Amino acid sequence: MAKQQEYIRKPEWLKTKINTNKSYTGLKKLMRDKKLNTVCEEARCPNIHECWSERKTATFMILGDTCTRGCRFCAVKTGLPNELDWGEPERVAESVEIMGLKHVVVTAVARDDLNDGGAAVFAETVRAIRKLNPGCTVEILPSDMKGDYESLSTLMNSKPDIFNHNIETVRRLTKRVRARAMYDRSLQLLQRVKLIAPTTPTKSSIMVGLGEAKEEIIQAMDDLLAHGVDIMTIGQYLQPTKKHLLVERYYHPDEFQELKEIALEKGFRHCESGPMVRSSYHADEQVSQASAQRRINYMQGYEKQEDKEVDFKL
């Protein structure tokens, strides 16, 4: 009989203090009042208190709180989702305005029950944010939408400032870690974004501590660069519940720094790497010069929005 894997005690550098001040509790109340979900809460992000209390940033999770997939690393609940809520985009936009955000991340549960994977609601959310908050840059973090590129075109027609899609882990571990996802399909999705919008920065993330080798991490970097990805984030996998995959190793902060240096040397425009880093961590600092300039143009009132929609066909 195979030996059962044992739990590993968290090192000191992964212990954080909870700070539930008025800013944090106020934002939490706002989310409940607007009937909105955040990946900060649903995925049990360790940075929620820093982001909500100090940086006043949040990652909105649209399309409900129930995912059609059951990835073995993720705490978001799995099951049959509710019907689409077309009032959600406006509520997200209103919350962004109340919070005074300058950069916002919009992600979503996987909706494999929908023909477009939820792309239409996603795109409407981006447009609603822009309409009510013209100076705000928007980053989107969708699922792979089952590799449907018409859905990707629908999403990209909303003109996000950053397109983020996570490969989550190295090629060898993908089947074990990600439900219904494919390593190459995720890479191809990121590459197709560049065909639709060549100047839009693309971004992806991996977790470490799941049993990958250093050489596999470096290969993942090469794979992302080969598919035109500009920004990479690397963080420590933390087991959300006993039902999820066990942590096989905790990386030291020095190892994360080394991975960051390797990523930058290889050609990534920006890399966040650290034990507490998540895909949306310090997302406001990762906005490209082009996105920052778009914000300036909006504030000065001379950027036009008459761009034609993309008719993406291959």
The answer to whether position 7 is within a domain reads: no
Phi/psi of residue 139, each to 5°?
-110, 135
Whether residue 209 contacts residue 249, with contact meaning beta carbons closer than 8 Å, is answered with: yes
Residue 9 located in a structural domain: no
The answer to whether the CB of 266 falls within 8 A of the CB of 225 is yes
Is the pLDDT confidence value at 269 over 90? yes
Q: Which domain holds residue 27?
A: 17-297
Yes or no: say if 220 and 263 are a contact pair by the CB < 8 Å rule: no
Q: Is 23 helix (H, G, I), strand (E, B) or coil?
A: helix
* pLDDT at 212 > cutoff 60: yes
The length of the chain is 314
- Cα separation, 116 vs 119, whole angstroms: 6
- Tell me, what's the pLDDT at 185? 96
pLDDT at 241 (0 to 100): 84
**Tens-digit pLDDT profile for residues 6-57:** 678 888 877 666 555 555 566 667 666 766 665 555 445 555 555 544 545 6
Please determine, for residue 297, whether its predicted confidence score (pLDDT) is greater than 60: no
**Secondary structure of residue 107 in the 3-state scheme:** strand
Q: What is the pTM of this model?
A: 0.82
Domain-embedded: residue 84: yes
CB atoms within 10 A of CB 68: 20
Give yes or no for residue 306 having a pLDDT over 50: no
- Residue 240: band (very low, low, confident or very high) from pLDDT cuts 50, 70, 90: confident
Q: Output the DSSP codes for 170-228.
A: -GGGHHHHSTT--HHHHHHHHHHHHHH-TTS-EEEEEEE-SS--HHHHHHHHHHHHHTT
Number of domains in the chain: 1
The reply to whether 38 falls in a domain is: yes
Which of 197-201, 261-265, 284-288, 310-314 reaches the highest mean pLDDT?
A: 261-265
Does 304 fall in a domain? Answer: no
CATH classification of the domain holding 268 = 3.20.20.70
Tell whether 8 is covered by a domain. Answer: no
Higher-confidence residue: 162 or 43? Answer: 162
Please indicate, yes or no, if residue 150 is contained in any of the structural domains: yes
